[in-house]
Amino acid sequence: PVLGVRSLLYVGNVRGSVYALESHTGRLVWTRDLGPGAVVAEPVPVMDGDVPAVVFSLVQTLPGIERYRYRNDNVHALGALTGESRWTLALAGDIQYPPQVILGKDIAVMTFSDGNATLHAINLASRNITWSRGLCRGGRLSPHLALDTDQEAIFTVCVDGSVVVMMAGTGAIETRANVSQRLTRPPQFLARPVHRSDMVFFLSGTSGVIAAVGVSTGRMLGTILLNEPVVAAPLLGPYGYIYCVTYDGLVVAQELSDARPTFVKRLAGNIRVSPVLL
């Protein structure tokens, strides 16, 4: 779910139904049926001119062939307060992961078709595709995109361990590096990348390796070895500390320049969310 304007909570299900609820009472404010298909990515709050809206990505299923087979995904923008349709857009391929708003004017959407991944930037005003960039063949991208603090660069990673840094305004690839040679197992990137200054941190969920890559150079700057599966993104804290939580409940605080962790704590397992520092 996503919390949007006037504290409304937006939720979609695998039957293509979407709901807006009051966050403090649970009262149903509006519901819409987007047609046959499934909402499998988080909705994204945007502005459609002066009107607040919510963008849902709908994947259409092929009857009788497994639970999910994808065809002609639609991107739907609904009015945030009333649920009226603001606009729709059809993209070929499946959309499984949350879009990202970039530079306040475009929305970045990843599609997958026949094992190939393409990233599209859609202009929110004209609904035209600003740019499209094919990134991976025969594989898939990381479930998440990450933006730098100025929203000028997009970070993602391919299943073969290729780190990709793109310019948000044009889709031009700024840096492409490969971190798989530092991993003991084939990489499977389950957590979103995180960014600080000229470094972006990617995490291989299967082998528990956090790799720091230079944004401008594509060079490996260091790694932290957790040796346990990780599905939650690391937290970049003050004074150069990195806080990591494994799926099995291991909490590690460490500086990238230090070979030894500052502390290690074992908690109950099944941890899928990132830590927060207040």
Q: Which of 171, 247, 178, 176 is nearest to 211 (CA)?
A: 178
Q: Quote the tokens at residue 125.
A: 């005003």
pLDDT above 60: residue 270: yes
The three-point CA angle 60-157-169 to 5° equals 80
pLDDT above 50: residue 193: yes
> What per-residue confidence (pLDDT) applies to 116?
73
> What per-residue confidence (pLDDT) applies to 172?
87
- Tell me what percent of the residues of the chain surpass a pLDDT of 70: 72
The rounded distance, in Å, linking the Cα atoms of 237 and 239 is: 7
Highest-pLDDT range among 112-116, 133-137, 248-252: 248-252
Higher pLDDT, 137 or 235: 235
The three-point CA angle 31-128-47 to 5° equals 45
257 CB-near residues (< 8 Å, 6+ apart): 222, 240
The rounded distance, in Å, linking the Cα atoms of 166 and 134 is: 12
pLDDT above 50: residue 67: no
Q: Are 22 and 9 in contact (CB under 8 A)?
A: yes
Q: Which residues pair with 162 in a beta bridge?
A: 178
**Residue 149 banded pLDDT, cuts 50, 70, 90:** low
Residues 185-214, mean pLDDT to the nearest whole number = 70
Which of 47-56, 93-102, 241-250 comes out lowest in average pLDDT? Answer: 93-102
Q: Are 172 and 164 in contact (CB under 8 A)?
A: no
The rounded distance, in Å, linking the Cα atoms of 267 and 165 is: 34
Q: Are 204 and 184 in contact (CB under 8 A)?
A: no
**Residue 85 banded pLDDT, cuts 50, 70, 90:** very high
> What per-residue confidence (pLDDT) applies to 96?
67
Summarised one tens digit per residue, pLDDT across range 165-188 is 788 888 888 777 666 655 555 556
**Residue 151 banded pLDDT, cuts 50, 70, 90:** low
- Which amino acid makes up residue 83? G
**Residue 140 banded pLDDT, cuts 50, 70, 90:** low
Encode 263-278: b = buried (16+ Cβ within 10 Å), e = exposed. eeeeeeeebeebeeee
Q: Are 240 and 224 in contact (CB under 8 A)?
A: no
Average pLDDT, the chain: 76
